[in-house]
Every structure is written in C-alpha cells, then in structure tokens.
Structure 1
Amino acid sequence: MAEVPSTYSESWFRIAQQRVSLRPHIRVHRQRFRGERWYVLQDPFNNQFFRVRPAAYDFLARLRPDRTVDSVWHESFEADPENAPGQEEVLHLLAQLYGANLLHSALAPDSARLFDRYTKRKQKERQAFFRSIMFARIPLIDPDNFLKRSLAIGRAAFSWFGLAVWLLVVGLALKIVIDNFSDLKEQTQGVLSPDNLFWLYAGLVIIKTVHEFGHAFACRRFGGEVHTMGIMFLLFTPIPYMDATASWSFRSRWQRALVGSAGMIVEIFVAGLAAFVWVNTAPGTIHSLAYNMMFVASVSTVLFNINPLLRFDGYYILSDLLDIPNLHQRSTGLLKHLIEYYCFGYKKSVNPARSNKEAFWLTVFAICSTIYKVIIFTTILFFLADRFLILGIIMAIVCAVAWVCVPIYKLIVYLASSPKLQRTRLRAVSCVAGFLLVLLIILDVIPFPNHFRSPGVLQASTYSVVVPETSGIVEEVLSADGSRVSAGDPLLRLVNTELALQIRSAEAQLEQTQAMQRRALREATADLKPLESRAEATRKLLHRLEESREALVLRAAHDGTWVAPGIKDSVGSWLERGTPVGQVIDESEFYFSAIVSQNEASRLFSKEILGSDVKLFGQAGELLAVESRKVIPVEKERLPSAAIGWAGGGDVAVDMSEQSGTRTAEPFFEVRANIGEAGESQLLHGRGGRIRFDLPAEPLLRQWMRKLRQLLQNRYGI
C-alpha cells in the first residue's frame, strides 16, 4: 500500500504565501481506475495529461489568484481532514503542475518563468529524442480537420457492422493462408533478398500508414482530438506515426484499449485484403506488394505492436486493461521509491502504487520491460552492425552514453546534491558504494564454474557402411535388420543378368582362344605368343567378373549388429554401385565425436580440462561419463554426420550449396571422448548430443569479456 504522506512539511514556507490557480484552459475529466474515482487534467495546447485523486482536485479547484496556498490548504483540511492532501503532497503536486505550465501565478515575472519552463521542457524533449534516436519522431501535420470531415468512416469501421466485416475478411484470409502455407513459406525465404527490399519497404509504408490512421479514426470516433502526425525513424527507416494521447481523457477503459488496438485491427484487416490479392494474382508487381504487406503486418504485430514491454500499442492496451496509467513511469518510480525508502532511509518517499496488487504489477513490468528492452536493443545494434559496421559502432557509443554514462552522472549528482538526502546522505552514499563493491567482488573476484558445450555425435569405435561393389537387383535379404552377425556372414544377395551374360561371354572367349592355341601348336607356332597374351587378358577379365559376381552377396566386414531399416522393402529394387544399404555396428565400445570451434579449441590446448560429460538428445536426464579424451590437432571441414549441421537440424553452420550437408562454413577441431559405462542409457550409433568441458573456475566478468571478444572477432573481425 502507498504510504500516507505527513500532514506538515518543513518546506511549506516556500509556497505558503504564493497565490496560484489552474490555468483557465485546463480541461477536467472524471474517470475511474481500479474502482477508484480520479480526475484527469488535460492541457489541450500540448496534449498533456495529469491524474489527481478527488481530495487533491478539491484542493486545486479551491485555488484562486486572490487566495494564498496556505489559506486554501487549511480550508481544504478543515473540510475533509481525513482525505485532504498533506503539505508534502501539495508541494509535490504544485511542483509538477508548475513545471508543466498548468498553474497561473499572480507574480509579475510569471510570464518569463513560463517561457523558461517551456524552454526547459523542450530541452528535455530534445534530450529524449537523442536518447531514443533509433525510434526518433518528427511531427509534420495536424490531421484533425481531415478526421472531422471523414468521421463517417471511423463510425462505420468501429461499430458492430465493422466488426462483422472484419471477422469475415480476416477469417477468409486465414483460410487462404492455411491452404497456401507451403507457397507462403517458400516465398518468405527471399523476403530479404535485394530484389525484394523495395517492395518490402513499400509494404511497410502502406501498412504503417493505415495503422496510424486506424488509431486516429478510432480516437476521433470516441471524441478525442488528433493534432499530431509525422514520421518516426524506426532503425533510421522513416515510417508514419500519430499522437493519440487524447484517448487518455476517455472515461471507458475499453474505449481507450480499442484506440490502442485500432492500428493492429486495421493493419490485420488490410493484410487480409492483401491475402485475397496475393492468391488471385500471378507473380509480378501487385503480387509482390500484396505478399510484403501480409509479411509486414504479421511480423510488426508480433515483435513490436502487441508486445507490452515496449512502449508501442501493446503497452498502452495493457495499461488501460490493468487500469494503471503511466505504467512505465510509475513502475520506474516504484523502483526508485523502494531504493529511497528502504536503502537510503528517506522515509518521506511516496509510493506510486496504491495497493499491493498494483505494486506487484508495477514491479513485474519494470523488471520484464528492462530485460526485454536490453535484449531488443542489443539485437537491433547487432543487426545494424552486420550491415553497416560504422553505423553500428556509432549507435553502440550513443547507447552506452545514454544508458550508462548519463545514469551514472545523474546518480552522482543526486547523491551529492539532492535535498531528499540532506539527513541520510552518508547512508545513501555508503549504500551505493557498498552495492558497487559487492557487485565488483561477485563479478570480478569470486570464481564461478567455467565450462563450455559443443555439439557432436555418438559413434561406435568399429563400424562399417555396407555398400554394393556391383550394381544389381535385390534378390534376397539374408540377414534381418537388427540381427547379430559375424565377420563374413551374408547380408544381402543381388542379381545382375548383364553380369551373368558378360561372364558367359568371357568364358566362351577363353574357350575359343584355348582352341586356337591348340590348333596353332599343330599348324602355326608363330601365332602362339599373341594367343597366349589374349588368353591371359581374357582370364583376368573373367576373374574380375567372377569377383563382381561374388560381390553380389554383401557380407559383414566384422562382428556386430546389422542395421538396415526398411531393407525388406528393397527386394526387387535396383541398387547402384556404392549406394549405402546399411551398417554393421560393433556396440562394444563407443566414442563421442565433438565439433569444437576454433575459439573454444584454443582453450582446450591452453588449459587443463578438469572433466567432461555427455548428454544425448532424447536422454537429457542421463549423463554419460567420459573416460578419456583426444584432441585431433588438425583442422577439419567435414562433419562426421550431417545431423550436426544446419541441413540436418543441428547447430553447426554448413555450406548450404554443398549437397551432403557435411562441409562446414568454418574449420573446426574434433575431440574424441571415449564413453565409459552407459548405465541405463541406450547408446545408439549416430545419435546426436552435447559434451560439456569443465575448465578451472573463473570470475564471471572475465568469462563474459572473453565471450564478447570472441563474438566481435567472429562477426566483425575486431
């Protein structure tokens, strides 16, 4: 629950004799949030909104230029001593309203101060612009008059009739997508190709334009005004944006949520229409544009708009549905309050949460949004650096200044000069210093477990691939799949009628040559030598043909298990020479062939491996002990199994232009780990898995820095 501010304040004398009042142009809206009544103050000139509780609004409504703040406060306190704002709350409230130019002061220099406050606010807006430079906004036009003239469109779109049309179109479009999913998937592979980039951006502009007009029409539909529309540079890509903050004045949270989701609603509707165009057009300009509109609508909705952790549509929808306005600002304020109150000892800190439930949601949102924001911005920076290295470096520097240097500077200024810490400054400084010291010790002093993992495949120490040395038709399966065989046992019999004819032909040639030799002995001895050479050549040919005939019976090269799935179905089919038929696997001894990158391999050569174990896919709960390891000190480019590479669903990058799927994109080192007792684990030749190498413990900061250096070196050669 929020702490109740103290009734009296030591700083009250600063404003007690001031004469202030709300400016006459301020509009007041009464709303209910989480079952409580609130008043929302709206400045129509700059579209700013401020929420105050009823007792605070009662105090503000009593303010007049001819009355002092002190007299109004006493009057308000006497009228409702239980709910009237305390002096500390009044100080905070008036300071906020004064800084936003919502208060009129009877002092002569107030006009100059108003201009100064306006200038400072613009400076803060410019600073925010550079802090969010990857999402910078530039206002261009005021579309309100156009929206007024076109209000009939908004009324029709956001009505029960509009809902029925939307459901019909989106439902039919979804059926089109399901029926043509294979074609969509195939076309998606070339979405980032150079030939498609223009159409991708064109689809982005069209979709985002109707998206923003969806917000605008929905806001105007329920009585809000839309005075700002312009361009936002999303990763330096110009796309439209509009300001629908007027919806904050709506009493119904469902209307506010509808305005927040209107962009996605219209976007999906237009994507549905694009699906009709896509499926009914041949490849060409219209076909490509329609597809890209569908792609942009789906990707942007999932990654950005519907995600509440970024300050896009999903954020405002969640804020309205939870009845927690200013979700981001108040969640940040709650974390600040917790630090000030419990760590720094500032007991007058005001909790922005009004209930434990609200405090829970604010805390969860603050933590999740911070983590997600770091992840998404880091991804964006790498995305930029992959394409424009210099631009990525510049943006990384800007982000480091905005997210690290500026907060540190503000923290130092806060600790050194904040009036809040006048009595507890030493405690606050000690708390921050202690936290940094503990953090430094944890990250850079205390050693943590150090290991890395590599993909690989389990292989029998002795195995052979059975392939026919002679082409033929499968006549008979002599050993069933899965049977135990010994060296020399027959596995499969082939038949080759052409080979049989060649053998009979060679035998006939040999008989003919031998007959000619006998006649030459009687009649022409000079012909004996050529005939002997011919006979010898025929004997060699016949010997080779007989060997080929013997090879039609495929035999086991060693003892083991005959593994040939589906071999029974091959009877009667033709097998080309060299076609793999099955394997004979000796299951008495196995080793794990691990694929280690060059960066990780350097650690194998330079540091002692304390231990290692293997986890096989499908048996993640079982650890296989490693008896010994052997690092093959030669770079390789061929994987022991295609299952480890991308082509087989593995993690190792391979050359996709090579059909076997075993040629890696980068050289690697092989580590062979001999497996000990398997226990309850089932060892199967060719099963993939991962091996973990345990190294000497090392502080986390050093581990992270090494991984960062490896990442930068691999991706950018830095």
Structure 2
Amino acid sequence: MTDSFFSPLWYRLADLQPALKPQVEVTLHDYGGEAWHVLRDPVTGKLYRFTAQAWQIVGRMRGQQPLARIWEAALAELGPQAPSQEETVQLLSQLYQADLLSVDATPDAAELLDRMQRQRRQKRQRFYKNPLAIPLPLFDPDRFLDRLAPLVQGRRAGLFWALVWLAVVIPALGLLPLHWEALTRTGPREWLALDNLVLMACVYPVVKALHELAHGLAAKRHGGAVHETGIMFLVFYPVPYVDASSSAFFPQRRARALVGGAGILAELWLAAGAFLIWLAAEPGLLRDMMFNVMLIGGISTVLVNGNPLLKFDGYYVLCDLLGMPNLGPRANKAWGRLAKALLGLEDPRNAPRTRAEAWVFYLYAPAAFVYRIFIMLTIAVMVSTQYFIAGVLIAVWSMVQALVVPLFKTLGHLWSDPRLAERRGRAWASMLAGLAGAALLLLSVPLPLRETAQGVVWLPERAHLRVETGGVLVDLPIAPGTWVAAGAVLAVLDAPAETTRLQMARARQLEADIHARATQVNDRAEWRQAMAALPRHDADVAHAAQRVARLELRAAVAGRFYMDLPDMAIGRYFPEGAVIAHVLPDRAQRVRTSLPEPKAEFLDTRLRRVTLRLPGDAGLALQATDLRRVPMASQRLPAAALGRAAGGRIATDPGDPEGMRALDPLVTLDLSVPGLEQARFGQRVEVKFDLGLEPVGFRLWRRARVAFLSLFTRGAA
C-alpha cells in the first residue's frame, strides 16, 4: 500500500472506461506459490506481471465500466488488501505508457509523439550502457524453425535428444579428470596467440549459431514464436542471436527454464563431443579446432553465458527455477530498501515476500556486482593485450558504468527525494560515515600479510654424482642402496680417447726429455729451448691424467648411494656434466623455493619468519633459520616438481619439454631448515612467508599497480 489511500487525480480519471487492447495476451504464472497474471504485447514482445490484487483492477478493464466502479468492486472483494486510489492511478498510467490500454478519450497527438521519442531514447540509452553488445537484426526465422519443429516436438523427441545429450556428456565427464593435466598445459597466452585467434574466429560463429538454433527449437517445442534473428557485435566481434523472448510468456516454469538453458545445453554437448574427438585425433588442425570448441563451449558457458551472476542465459534460467522474475533489479531494490530503513524510511513496495527470498536478494546483489566488475575488467585486459587503447577505453567505460553512474544516482536521490527532506542531514551523515568507515577499514586496520609458495627438499650440490669426463659406464664397484663413506669409488667409466690422449701426452713428454738430454752438451741454445718446453709437456700429462682419473666417480659426502636402473646404465655413454647417481645424506637440511618477482619485493625489508609444512603432517610447522636469495631473477625453475605440468603451481612454457621454464620471472630462495629428518629429497613442501602487518587497501593498490604496469609494458611493446 502507498502512503496515501486517496488520490488528488481521482476526479479526473474516475469516469474513464479503460479496456485492454484486443491483441494483449494473458496467462498465469506461479511465483513462489503465488499466482501472477502476465500480460504480453505481441507487437513489442514485452511482458508485464501483475499480482492477484492488481488483477482485480486490470481484469475488469473491458471498456464497459468506469474506473470508479472497477475500483469499488475490487475494494468490496479484497477489503484492506485492495489497491488504493493512488496505486490504481499508477497502474492505469503504467498500462497506458506501455500502450496496452484504450480509453474512451481522444488520443493526444503530442503525447503519442512524446512516447515514440521516449522509446527511441531508451534504445540509445541501452546502447550507451552496454556498447560491447550491439544487436543488428537481419530476418524473421519463424518459418524456417517451423519446418524443423517436428524434430523436437512430442515426448519421444524429447527423450531421444535427452539420451543423445547424455550419451556424449557422461563419457566426457568420466574421462575429463584423466586428461585434465594435458588440457591445462596451455593458458591464455597460447589461446590468444595469433594463429589460434584465427582458428577461434572460424569456430566461434558456428558454435554460437548452433547455440541460438537450440534456443529457437526449444521455443518451438512449447509453441513459442521466434520473429527476430541477427548478429550481435559482442566486443566488436559478430555473433549470431535469436529473440526467443516469447518463451517468457509460457505458463510452465520448466518450459521457460528449458528455453533459456537450451543454448547452454547445446554448448556443453558440443564441448563434450569436441573433447572426445580431441582425445582420438592426432595432433593437427582437427585437434586444434576441437580444443577451441572446448574453450568456447566450456569456459564461456561456465564464466559468462551459463553463469547466473550475469544477465545472460544462466540468469534467466535461475529466475525461472526460483520463481523470482527480475531477480537482479529486485535484489538491488531490496538493498535500497535496507538503506532507507537505516535512515528511518519505510518502503513496503520492495519488501521480500518470504525469508528465503530475502536471503536470495541480499546474497545475489553483491555477488553479481563483484562478478560483473571482474568480468568487465577481464575482458578489458584481454582486449588490451592485442588492442591496447581499446582495452583501456573499455576498462574506463566499464568502471564508469559500474561505479560512477550508480554513485551519482545515489547522490542525486539523497539530494532530491522529498521523503528525505527532514532526514537529509542524517542521510548525508550516514553516507559519509559509511565511506569514512570503509576507508578506515581499508587504510588503517592492519591485517597479517602472508605469501605462500611451494618448495622442494633440496640436495646439496656435492650429493650429485656428476660425470666430469664423458665415457661409457663399465662398473659399479658398490651396489646402489649401500651406505658409503666420502671418497669411495662408486662408478667407473671407460673413455679410450682419454686413455689414448694420456699415452700420447706421456710419449711427447718422454720425447722432449730425451731431446733435452741429447742437446745438453752439443747445443746449449737448443737445450735451453728443450728445457723450456718440458713444463708444458708435464702440464699436458697432468691434465690428461686428471681426466682419466676422473673416470672413477667418488662420493663427495657420506651417505646412501642411490641410482635409477643401474643394470640398464651399464654400457651406456654419459656425457660430461651428466648426473648419473646421488649420495643421499642421512638428513635433509635445505629447501629451495621460488616466488614471482613482484611477490618477492618485500623479502629484504619486511620478512619476519618463514615456516614450512610437510605433506601429510600439516600440524608440524618447521622454522627456517637462514634465507639466501639468488641475486638475479630467472625463468628457470629449481625443479620440475614446482611446475604445473608436474603438479606444482607455477605455470610453465608448454613448448619446454622439460617443464622447467616458467612463464614469468622468478626469484629463487634457499632456506636452511632444521628438523627435516623425515623429509624425502625432491619432496614438495608448503612454504609461508610472514611479512608482518599491512592494511588491505595498500595491499590491493600494490597488486593493482603491479598488474597494470605489466599490462602497460606489454601494450607499449
């Protein structure tokens, strides 16, 4: 009910005999157990919903009774629940503005012209609010869909398509975890490579055309009409679309949800089928095409089209399933009502009908707001990697629409709402206090600052049994698995070339010595030259002898001798520098880890302590006693176990077969950790860096600055 039961305009409207236009269609919808009457204008396709109380007024508008008698009849039937005169006037005005009503009065040409201009302004405003989605209608597909309608109509057809969908999606879901690692080896950088973008541009319209065809056929299955199809320029790229809004008029909730979700189901089916083909296909064009179909049908469905937090298909499906039409605007109004309540104003028009509905409203609005900003900024960043200026403009425009415009609307409401005349000072004070409180929380309240990473239990360099002279492994004097002392011979290699080189060096040394002795008496000048050459020959022999001696590999430290597949190693050639075995000390002492370069910014100035936890023993926290930092950042991982391909967290270059090259520069750290007796060498550990306290606002600003500076650097390049 409104604040005023009677209306000062009633005397001007009471004698009108309004009537709904003949073309207006009416049906019943069930929203949360309540019956609502839904009116549809077949000319514009727009829907208008009315409660049972409002329908007591609208349903009697047949052009045979004056408005006063209609209102009195509703008042007699509904009693205190009847609409007031003020609400009846508003209802009449809304019907007239929607062009659903005819009255026994001469039409006002100026008013009709104003209505047309208002509709044009609304179209322009829709474009300005969402310049990333520009529709271009092309033709009426209704007759074409009528020819295909028999394929989807009837219970048997529905069962057939359900089985077809399940026969593809269920096997794909079963196989997906087994091949997840292979699917995730690439990332956005590879997806946005020029050659893949060209391939995606060819695949995308086909996938979206099938998506829209599914919408149209689902509408036809339940008797709907589809009178518009065209191209929508989504982020300046042409995408097909159909107008299946007639499904919103269907009385069955499941039918409305099916039409809204048909495109989602179609894309998931295409993504599942593409995944199965991708598994069977050899590397090449077909496999790359199927991967792009998976990207489009999988990622876009989960993040955008099928996500109910954005106003796409998933949103309308959620509205139908919950029985809450206009969920987004109503959730925003519920928060507005809550804000007014804090100012002492009651607004019964936007009150949730049930406690469950209130919870949905209060949870949905902030979640949708945050997610919408996240998606808009993500699109802007992705566009700016290829078109820098366009990406920056999209980011600015998105933030203006998401933050600046709502802020100015709120300020305008506080300034002009007559109901706040006596409370305007309190309203401004409450808003400023809220902003000050938020700023205080963001900028003044210190919270723990932590950075986490993965590390590996690190072998000391002396524990590696490294080949110093290349050769063929011919003997393992000590069996692998044996405890050995420092200096023990663990492996013997054979290098005939090195042995021959030593023999030749000794022969040249002997020859030089004989020559020096022979010239000592007869030719003093020749003797001096021969004596000067002797040290060089001695050095050659010493060097060759050293290389031959290094064919025997000795343990540099005491520990347990460990070697992979020793039987297969016998007779195999190992080049210089190759590691063929390890001598594991009795206890581990060091952990090596890597941090992205921006995250390592404060290690030198703000680091308080470093703690480590071993897998399977989360309750035991080990403290690092010493930290050494490699001076220069590098993209090479300390160990492949830290890379995503081996189950780690760091994204690696998919073109690197070893999985050792990271996509971004890393800072490598060596940690001395007492208490690692139970850890295995090469085992992953969790590392936490305690950097003290810092307010959230400074933290967010620093991370945003790093992200955008890196973006600008790529754009400038």
TM-score by structure 1 length? 0.82
Out of 120, 123, 148, which is 2:121 matched to? Answer: 123
Cα displacement (A) at 1:345: 2.4
Equivalent residue number for residue 711 of structure 2: 715
Equivalent residue number for residue 150 of structure 2: 155
Correspondence list, 1:483-632, <5 A = 484-490=483-489, 492-494=490-492, 496=494, 498=496, 550-567=549-566, 570-571=569-570, 573-586=572-585, 590-605=589-604, 607-615=605-613, 621-631=619-629
Equivalent residue number for residue 35 of structure 2: 37
Work out the CA distance in 1 between the residues paired with 2:361 and 2:298. 29
Q: Percent identity?
A: 27
Range that drifts further, 221-230 or 568-577: 568-577
Equivalent residue number for residue 213 of structure 1: 213
Range that drifts further, 360-369 or 535-544: 535-544
SS of equivalent residue, structure 1 residue 624: strand
The count of corresponding residues between Structure 1 and Structure 2 is 701
1:400 aligns with 2:396: no
Contact 1:272 1:294 in 2 (8 A): yes
Cα displacement (A) at 1:76: 0.8
Range that drifts further, 637-646 or 537-546: 537-546
Contact 1:467 1:579 in 2 (8 A): yes
Work out the CA distance in 2 between the residues paired with 1:231 and 1:535. 89
1:255 aligns with 2:255: yes
Cα displacement (A) at 1:303: 3.4
CA, structure 1 residues 163+267, in 2 after alignment: closer, same or farther (shift >3 Å)? farther
Range that drifts further, 72-81 or 241-250: 72-81
Work out the CA distance in 1 between the residues paired with 2:597 and 2:184. 34
CA, structure 1 residues 401+270, in 2 after alignment: closer, same or farther (shift >3 Å)? closer
**Amino acid of the residue matched to residue 257 of structure 1?**
A
Cα deviation, 1:45-95, whole Å, max 9, x if unaligned, reads: 211112222232122122466755454323211123264334565455445
Cα displacement (A) at 1:688: 4.9
Cα displacement (A) at 1:609: 3.3
Cα displacement (A) at 1:143: 2.8
1:49 aligns with 2:47: yes
Cα displacement (A) at 1:364: 3.2
CA, structure 1 residues 385+554, in 2 after alignment: closer, same or farther (shift >3 Å)? same
Cα deviation, 1:649-671, whole Å, max 9, x if unaligned, reads: 55556676666665666655554
Cα displacement (A) at 1:130: 1.9
Correspondence list, 1:249-328, <5 A = 249-267=249-267, 292-293=292-293, 296-328=296-328
1:224 aligns with 2:224: yes
Contact 1:176 1:279 in 2 (8 A): no
Equivalent residue number for residue 237 of structure 1: 237
Cα deviation, 1:91-147, whole Å, max 9, x if unaligned, reads: 554454344333445565655334434433432332222222223323333333x24
Work out the CA distance in 2 between the residues paired with 1:608 and 1:479. 49
Work out the CA distance in 2 between the residues paired with 1:453 and 1:500. 50
Out of 154, 162, 167, which is 1:171 matched to? Answer: 167
CA, structure 1 residues 438+91, in 2 after alignment: closer, same or farther (shift >3 Å)? farther
Cα displacement (A) at 1:618: 6.0
Correspondence list, 1:164-203, <5 A = 164=160, 167-168=163-164, 171=167, 192-203=192-203
Range that drifts further, 527-536 or 564-573: 527-536
Equivalent residue number for residue 358 of structure 1: 357
Cα displacement (A) at 1:41: 1.0
Cα displacement (A) at 1:239: 0.5
Work out the CA distance in 2 between the residues paired with 1:510 and 1:43. 108
Contact 2:380 2:395 in 1 (8 A): yes
Cα deviation, 1:551-581, whole Å, max 9, x if unaligned, reads: 4443211234544455566456554443212
* Stretches of structure 2 lacking an aligned partner (at least 5 in a row): none
CA, structure 1 residues 500+303, in 2 after alignment: closer, same or farther (shift >3 Å)? closer
SS of equivalent residue, structure 2 residue 127: helix
Range that drifts further, 27-36 or 239-248: 27-36
CA, structure 1 residues 533+173, in 2 after alignment: closer, same or farther (shift >3 Å)? farther
Equivalent residue number for residue 12 of structure 1: 7
SS of equivalent residue, structure 1 residue 219: helix
1:690 aligns with 2:696: no
Cα displacement (A) at 1:212: 1.4
Work out the CA distance in 1 between the residues paired with 2:586 and 2:286. 60
CA, structure 1 residues 639+215, in 2 after alignment: closer, same or farther (shift >3 Å)? closer
Cα displacement (A) at 1:439: 0.9
Range that drifts further, 233-242 or 73-82: 73-82
Correspondence list, 1:395-434, <5 A = 395-422=394-421, 424-434=423-433
Work out the CA distance in 2 between the residues paired with 1:288 and 1:618. 40
Cα deviation, 1:434-477, whole Å, max 9, x if unaligned, reads: 21121121112333333444555443567431123342235336
Work out the CA distance in 2 between the residues paired with 1:543 and 1:378. 67
Work out the CA distance in 2 between the residues paired with 1:307 and 1:379. 15
1:334 aligns with 2:341: no
Contact 2:373 2:402 in 1 (8 A): no
Contact 1:460 1:587 in 2 (8 A): no
Work out the CA distance in 2 between the residues paired with 1:363 and 1:626. 45
Contact 1:173 1:275 in 2 (8 A): no
Contact 1:585 1:685 in 2 (8 A): no
CA, structure 1 residues 501+441, in 2 after alignment: closer, same or farther (shift >3 Å)? closer
Cα displacement (A) at 1:484: 4.4
Work out the CA distance in 2 between the residues paired with 1:458 and 1:282. 38
Range that drifts further, 77-86 or 559-568: 559-568
Cα displacement (A) at 1:361: 3.0
CA, structure 1 residues 665+499, in 2 after alignment: closer, same or farther (shift >3 Å)? same
Cα deviation, 1:675-699, whole Å, max 9, x if unaligned, reads: 3x4389737456454341414x333
Cα displacement (A) at 1:170: 6.8
**Amino acid of the residue matched to residue 706 of structure 2?**
Q
**Amino acid of the residue matched to residue 413 of structure 2?**
Y
SS of equivalent residue, structure 2 residue 348: coil
SS of equivalent residue, structure 1 residue 247: helix
Cα displacement (A) at 1:219: 1.5
Contact 1:229 1:241 in 2 (8 A): yes
Contact 1:499 1:545 in 2 (8 A): no
The root-mean-square deviation of aligned C-alpha atoms, in Å, is 4.6
CA, structure 1 residues 374+109, in 2 after alignment: closer, same or farther (shift >3 Å)? same
Cα displacement (A) at 1:407: 0.7
Range that drifts further, 267-276 or 315-324: 267-276
Work out the CA distance in 2 between the residues paired with 1:625 and 1:672. 13
SS of equivalent residue, structure 1 residue 582: strand
Work out the CA distance in 1 between the residues paired with 2:277 and 2:683. 47
1:27 aligns with 2:22: no
Correspondence list, 1:365-404, <5 A = 365-404=364-403
Cα displacement (A) at 1:709: 1.2
**Amino acid of the residue matched to residue 579 of structure 1?**
A
Contact 2:588 2:681 in 1 (8 A): no
Work out the CA distance in 2 between the residues paired with 1:614 and 1:419. 61
Work out the CA distance in 2 between the residues paired with 1:508 and 1:414. 100
Out of 76, 97, 120, which is 2:74 matched to? Answer: 76
CA, structure 1 residues 172+648, in 2 after alignment: closer, same or farther (shift >3 Å)? closer
Cα displacement (A) at 1:347: 1.8
SS of equivalent residue, structure 2 residue 79: coil
